[in-house]
Structure 1
Amino acid sequence: MITEILSERCNNCNACVVVCPDHVLDLAKNDQPPAIARPDQCQTCFLCELYCPEDAIYVGVEVPRSELKNNPLGNIRRDYGWDSHKEEPLKNFWQLGGLLREGVMISSTRYALQQSDDKEPEKKI
């Protein structure tokens, strides 16, 4: 998973930090964008990218942004109707609740297993 925060676009609003269910990002400090502090905890839910009002975040699964022919910044927001001019940008996203909860559970379980003292290979997910 590749995540980039583009400092030239980021307005340090910390929306991405607040929305991240696994606390992957640390708050913006000293006019710097939020820090990707725990990338191994990312469940690739794309919420940080969806909530970024400046399209300053790119989340890619095994594809660096530099290798893509088209600039993908903001595509996920537009493709899923999350543009700020929409009256009801969250209208149909309630349907994702179960899927996102399951992702949080899987990610939390993986993290807990990684942190436990009894790291038995057969117990890893």
Structure 2
Amino acid sequence: MIEIVSAERCIGCDKCVLACPTDVFDRGADGVPVIARQDDCQTCFMCEAYCPVDALFVAPETRPLPEGSELRDEALLTSTGLLGSYRARIGWGRGRTPGARLAVGPELPRALPTPPPAAPPRTT
């Protein structure tokens, strides 16, 4: 569930607002999106994936975290590298290797093998 929008990191691009399938965010007076309908969050991570500056944190929970949870502490999430980490894990962003390719295992062939030539027709 969405827990943090970092006002310090946010550039006001609204990509999270546009990516959210359940309209969780409203635009704040300062241009930074605010979590307006947290209970509507589907924990799909799309907002975090689309954020180009890693300003969001979606906790892997389906209910809001309790007050005082360390996963609601922006400073801790920043220092541990968790703030915006989903985007890095899936390989989105410049200089990153797409994570899905690594999760699948060996690379798939770039092209299908050439089929053998057909046998010549029989004549009788």
1:81 aligns with 2:80: no
> Larger Rg: 1 or 2?
2
- Check the 8 A contact 2:6/2:55 in 1, yes or no: yes
Question: 1:2 and 1:14 mapped to 2: Cα distance?
Answer: 15
Q: CA RMSD in A?
A: 2.7
User: What is the aligned partner in structure 1 of residue 122 from structure 2?
Assistant: none
TM-score scaled by length of structure 1: 0.60
1:12 aligns with 2:22: no
- Check the 8 A contact 1:16/1:47 in 2, yes or no: yes
- Relative distance call for 1:90 and 1:22 in structure 2 (3 A) is farther
User: What is the aligned partner in structure 2 of residue 22 from structure 1?
Assistant: 22
Gap regions ≥5 residues in structure 1 = 93-125
- Check the 8 A contact 1:7/1:32 in 2, yes or no: no
1:7 to partner: Cα distance: 0.4
Question: Quick check: which one's helix share is greater?
Answer: 1
1:91 to partner: Cα distance: 7.8
The secondary structure found in structure 1 opposite 2:57 is strand
The secondary structure found in structure 2 opposite 1:55 is coil
Question: 1:33 and 1:77 mapped to 2: Cα distance?
Answer: 19
Percent sequence identity over aligned pairs: 43
Question: 1:2 and 1:30 mapped to 2: Cα distance?
Answer: 20
1:73 to partner: Cα distance: 1.4
Paired residue total: 90
Gap regions ≥5 residues in structure 2 = 102-124
- Check the 8 A contact 2:90/2:99 in 1, yes or no: no
